[in-house]
Structure 1
Amino acid sequence: MRSRGFTIVEIVITITIMSILMVLAVVGVSSTQSNARDEERVSDIEAIAQNLESFYVAGHDGLSIKGGLTYPATVNMTSANILTTLRDIDPKALTSPNAATSTTISVTNATNSTQTVTGVSPLPTTATYVYQPLHSDGALCTSPTTSGGCRKFNLYYRSEKTNAVQMITSRNQ
């Protein structure tokens, strides 16, 4: 007599194959999502850098900086006034994909003038970007009206996929 069901071996093999395929799908989706967040970080940093370059050329009437040829100092880039300083920027570009909320400003000011991906303080996380304005002598620019203004900047962000800190520099070095 012949039975019409599946044997235990056939069921175990089918479940094993399905489990392997599910693991591969989950790993692929996770990798794709981290790549997408890294691409968003790059896009955000490029938008911030472009707006900083526009600020350098045009200056800003609402601040004590007129006529351009200086980047915003740390005092101009706090979360309270960054949207006033970079008035043409899309606010979404100021929020990292890993930020706590969609309205969190992810740009943090550097507290030192070390211009390396390991020496800048604070180090960026996947949820923060670091802005480092510098005087022409390399000192941290905390005020736009001292020592000839802020003549260059560095932006730092951390890649989620490689966990490495990346640095973008201003056109005017």
Structure 2
Amino acid sequence: MIHLITGGQRSGKSLFAEDLALSLSNQPVYLATSRIWDEAHRERIEIHKKRRGNQWTTIEEEKFLSRHDFSGKVVLLDCITLWINNFFFDNEEDDKKSLQEAIQELEILFDQNCDWIIVTNELGLGGHPENKLAMRFNDLQGSINQYIAKKADRVTLIISGLPLEIKNTL
């Protein structure tokens, strides 16, 4: 199963996804993709870890998610936005390469026999970016979200902490 959870910043996506994962497994995997940018970001990550508690197996992986075997697990991948950001900045001006590399990783992941709960940001709801770099990133984020949504069995949009089911093929 692939369940994509999308929404705006601070919409409640991660809490919804965590509750869902815990309803499916008493020992889910939390696949964290964020790089640590500064001390404030490090503190935020630590708060998230403490909130989750010790029933989670946490794996921190910035880009190469397919290095890990998740067979038979419930995996919460949080989040695609931070993950695609790593490709975006590592590949500098080559957005096509970033998208290709990310899709290659996802194709390998989706072949694993496990349940995926994937969190992403819906950047397209927030208006038009005022600079070229942000616009390029929004385009890349939108493309990867569309790719995952097509592959997903379920898609849920979170608005103000409330889930709205967009797709359910189960």
TM-score range relative to shorter protein: under 0.3
The structure carrying a bigger helix percent of its residues is 2
TM-score normalised by the chain length of structure 1: 0.25
Ranked by relative contact order (alpha carbons within 8 Å, sequence separation 6 or more), the top structure is 2
Q: Which has the higher strand share?
A: 2
| Normalised TM-score (structure 2) | 0.25
Of structures 1 and 2, the larger Rg is shown by 1
